[in-house]
Amino acid sequence: MKRENFVTLILCTVGGIPFALGMCMCLVPAWNAFRPGVVLGALGAAVLLAAAVVRRRMQGKPAVRLTARTAGTALLAAAGALALGVGMCMTMLWDLLAAGIAVGLAGIVMLLGLIPLVRGLR
Protein backbone atom coordinates (compact mmCIF):
# COMPACT_ATOMS: atom_id res chain seq x y z
CA MET A 1 0.00 0.00 0.00
CA LYS A 2 1.32 3.41 -0.91
CA ARG A 3 1.98 5.87 1.88
CA GLU A 4 -0.55 8.39 0.52
CA ASN A 5 -3.29 5.74 0.51
CA PHE A 6 -2.48 4.70 4.08
CA VAL A 7 -2.49 8.29 5.34
CA THR A 8 -5.78 8.91 3.55
CA LEU A 9 -7.26 5.76 5.09
CA ILE A 10 -6.26 6.84 8.60
CA LEU A 11 -7.41 10.45 8.22
CA CYS A 12 -10.74 9.48 6.67
CA THR A 13 -11.38 6.97 9.44
CA VAL A 14 -10.46 9.50 12.12
CA GLY A 15 -12.70 12.11 10.46
CA GLY A 16 -15.55 9.86 9.36
CA ILE A 17 -16.31 8.35 12.76
CA PRO A 18 -16.86 11.64 14.62
CA PHE A 19 -18.74 13.04 11.63
CA ALA A 20 -21.14 10.08 11.57
CA LEU A 21 -21.52 10.02 15.35
CA GLY A 22 -22.17 13.77 15.38
CA MET A 23 -24.89 13.40 12.77
CA CYS A 24 -26.49 10.61 14.81
CA MET A 25 -26.33 12.79 17.91
CA CYS A 26 -28.14 15.54 16.00
CA LEU A 27 -30.80 13.35 14.43
CA VAL A 28 -31.76 10.96 17.25
CA PRO A 29 -34.01 12.96 19.58
CA ALA A 30 -33.78 10.37 22.36
CA TRP A 31 -30.09 11.20 22.83
CA ASN A 32 -30.87 14.87 23.51
CA ALA A 33 -27.40 15.89 22.25
CA PHE A 34 -28.00 18.26 19.36
CA ARG A 35 -25.36 20.90 20.17
CA PRO A 36 -22.58 18.43 21.03
CA GLY A 37 -23.52 16.56 17.85
CA VAL A 38 -23.05 19.69 15.76
CA VAL A 39 -19.64 20.29 17.34
CA LEU A 40 -18.53 16.68 16.85
CA GLY A 41 -19.86 16.61 13.27
CA ALA A 42 -18.06 19.86 12.44
CA LEU A 43 -14.84 18.50 13.91
CA GLY A 44 -15.16 15.35 11.79
CA ALA A 45 -15.90 17.41 8.67
CA ALA A 46 -12.80 19.53 9.33
CA VAL A 47 -10.62 16.40 9.57
CA LEU A 48 -12.13 15.07 6.33
CA LEU A 49 -11.41 18.37 4.59
CA ALA A 50 -7.86 18.25 5.90
CA ALA A 51 -7.56 14.69 4.56
CA ALA A 52 -8.42 15.90 1.08
CA VAL A 53 -5.81 18.66 1.27
CA VAL A 54 -3.15 16.29 2.63
CA ARG A 55 -3.83 13.71 -0.09
CA ARG A 56 -3.53 16.25 -2.88
CA ARG A 57 -0.29 17.55 -1.41
CA MET A 58 1.14 14.01 -1.05
CA GLN A 59 0.31 13.31 -4.69
CA GLY A 60 2.06 16.49 -5.76
CA LYS A 61 -1.09 17.98 -7.23
CA PRO A 62 -1.88 21.68 -6.98
CA ALA A 63 -4.62 22.98 -4.73
CA VAL A 64 -8.15 22.81 -6.07
CA ARG A 65 -8.98 25.84 -8.17
CA LEU A 66 -12.40 27.25 -7.43
CA THR A 67 -14.23 27.64 -10.72
CA ALA A 68 -17.93 27.87 -11.51
CA ARG A 69 -17.91 24.21 -12.54
CA THR A 70 -16.25 23.13 -9.27
CA ALA A 71 -18.73 25.17 -7.22
CA GLY A 72 -21.68 23.78 -9.19
CA THR A 73 -20.44 20.22 -8.75
CA ALA A 74 -20.04 20.75 -5.01
CA LEU A 75 -23.53 22.25 -4.76
CA LEU A 76 -25.05 19.35 -6.68
CA ALA A 77 -23.24 16.86 -4.44
CA ALA A 78 -24.42 18.64 -1.28
CA ALA A 79 -28.00 18.92 -2.55
CA GLY A 80 -28.08 15.25 -3.53
CA ALA A 81 -26.66 14.09 -0.19
CA LEU A 82 -29.09 16.31 1.73
CA ALA A 83 -32.06 15.12 -0.32
CA LEU A 84 -31.09 11.50 0.25
CA GLY A 85 -30.70 12.13 3.98
CA VAL A 86 -33.98 14.02 4.26
CA GLY A 87 -35.73 11.20 2.41
CA MET A 88 -34.30 8.71 4.88
CA CYS A 89 -35.46 10.85 7.80
CA MET A 90 -38.92 11.17 6.28
CA THR A 91 -39.30 7.41 6.02
CA MET A 92 -37.67 6.36 9.29
CA LEU A 93 -38.43 9.17 11.71
CA TRP A 94 -41.42 11.10 10.45
CA ASP A 95 -43.60 8.21 9.09
CA LEU A 96 -43.89 9.74 5.61
CA LEU A 97 -43.09 6.62 3.61
CA ALA A 98 -44.16 7.52 0.06
CA ALA A 99 -42.90 11.11 0.19
CA GLY A 100 -39.65 9.99 1.82
CA ILE A 101 -39.03 7.42 -0.89
CA ALA A 102 -39.66 10.05 -3.57
CA VAL A 103 -37.28 12.57 -1.97
CA GLY A 104 -34.66 9.87 -1.41
CA LEU A 105 -34.86 8.76 -5.03
CA ALA A 106 -34.49 12.36 -6.17
CA GLY A 107 -31.32 12.57 -4.07
CA ILE A 108 -30.00 9.36 -5.59
CA VAL A 109 -30.66 10.69 -9.10
CA MET A 110 -28.80 13.90 -8.25
CA LEU A 111 -25.85 11.92 -6.93
CA LEU A 112 -25.85 9.68 -10.01
CA GLY A 113 -25.80 12.83 -12.14
CA LEU A 114 -22.40 13.61 -10.65
CA ILE A 115 -20.80 10.71 -12.53
CA PRO A 116 -21.18 12.09 -16.07
CA LEU A 117 -20.60 15.61 -14.77
CA VAL A 118 -17.24 14.77 -13.18
CA ARG A 119 -15.99 11.93 -15.39
CA GLY A 120 -17.77 12.78 -18.62
CA LEU A 121 -19.30 10.41 -21.13
CA ARG A 122 -17.15 8.53 -23.63
Looking at residue 16, what is its pLDDT? 96
> DSSP letters along the chain, please?
--HHHHHHHHHHHHHHHHHHHHHHHHH-GGG--HHHHHHHHHHHHHHHHHHHHHHHHHTTPPPPP--HHHHHHHHHHHHHHHHHHHHHHHHHTS--HHHHHHHHHHHHHHHHHHHHHHH---
Q: What is the pTM of this model?
A: 0.66
The confidence band for 100, taking pLDDT boundaries of 50, 70 and 90, is very high
- pLDDT for residue 120 is more than 90: no
- Read off the pLDDT of residues 52-87 as tens digits, 9 standing for 90 and up: 999 999 999 988 888 999 999 999 999 999 999 999
Instruction: Select from 54, 62, 44 the least CA-distant residue to 8.
Output: 54
Tens of pLDDT, residue by residue over 1-39, are 889 999 999 999 999 999 999 999 998 889 999 999 999
Give the type of residue at 10: I
CA distance 20 to 13: 10
Mean pLDDT of 43-58: 95
State the average pLDDT over residues 115-122.
Answer: 89
pLDDT in the model for residue 96: 96
Mean pLDDT confidence for 85-93:
93
Look at residue 32 in the predicted model and tell me its pLDDT.
93
